Chains A and B, each alone.
Chain A
């Protein structure tokens, strides 16, 4: 089974801090994704990456950046955390080249910015 592991389940940070959310997948998937989930808004795509060092903006990239230095690892960076970035963050991965390949998700990191 595919395993997507997010480094922290819960995280509390202060406004202005730089925050790193880490995600690792063990199935050699090319695609990796970061979503955030908020009540009433569903899941919204922040960034995705289809290869090492490659990235594309999703629907809400403002205030975030990403890093993909190795195939198995995709990091989400909040350069200067703000309270409106308090949310559940979900990482996912999938195969590339397979048009119908499903996403496999981690269990999420619940980030609180105070």
Chain B
């Protein structure tokens, strides 16, 4: 399985963009990058995913480097409700089902 590396924690001021990095240097060509987040006492929530092109939805943007060895999740205008643990995950090739989670980045949004 391709593994991911994320910083343990980050802070962001409310209203500013939160940029969460992720390294996945062993990713293979047909593996997708997924981002989830988990707010305290809730189950993880899907945010966005991508293969090699940049992606944007109503929650966030995903920027994947050209060599696909790293990516950045961008929350354009962070709010206090975005305080959560953010997980970057690479989908295991061949199984189409299994996701392996790491320990994620704890994002603290402050006033």
Q: Identify the A interface with B (CB < 8 A).
A: 4, 31, 33, 35, 40-45, 48, 50, 58-59, 90, 92, 94, 96-108
The reply to whether A100 and B49 form a contact with Cβ atoms under 8 Å apart is yes
The reply to whether A45 and B98 form a contact with Cβ atoms under 8 Å apart is yes
Q: Identify the B interface with A (CB < 8 A).
A: 30, 32, 34, 36, 41-46, 49, 51, 87, 91, 96-104
The reply to whether B97 and A96 form a contact with Cβ atoms under 8 Å apart is yes
In the complex, the number of residue pairs spanning A and B with C-beta atoms less than 8 Å apart equals 59
Q: Which of A31, A96, A102 is close to B34, meaning CB atoms less than 8 Å apart?
A: A102
The reply to whether A90 and B49 form a contact with Cβ atoms under 8 Å apart is no
21 residue pairs from A and B, CB less than 8 Å apart: A33-B97, A40-B103, A41-B103, A42-B103, A42-B104, A43-B44, A44-B101, A48-B98, A50-B97, A58-B98, A59-B100, A94-B97, A96-B97, A98-B96, A99-B91, A102-B34, A103-B36, A103-B46, A105-B44, A107-B41, A107-B42
- Which chain B positions have C-beta within 8 A of A102? 34, 46, 49
Q: A90-B43, A90-B44 are in contact. Are A100 and B51 (CB under 8 A)?
A: yes
Closest residue to B1 on the A side, CB-wise? A59
- Which chain B positions have C-beta within 8 A of A96? 96-97
The reply to whether A4 and B34 form a contact with Cβ atoms under 8 Å apart is no
The reply to whether B49 and A103 form a contact with Cβ atoms under 8 Å apart is no
The reply to whether A108 and B43 form a contact with Cβ atoms under 8 Å apart is yes
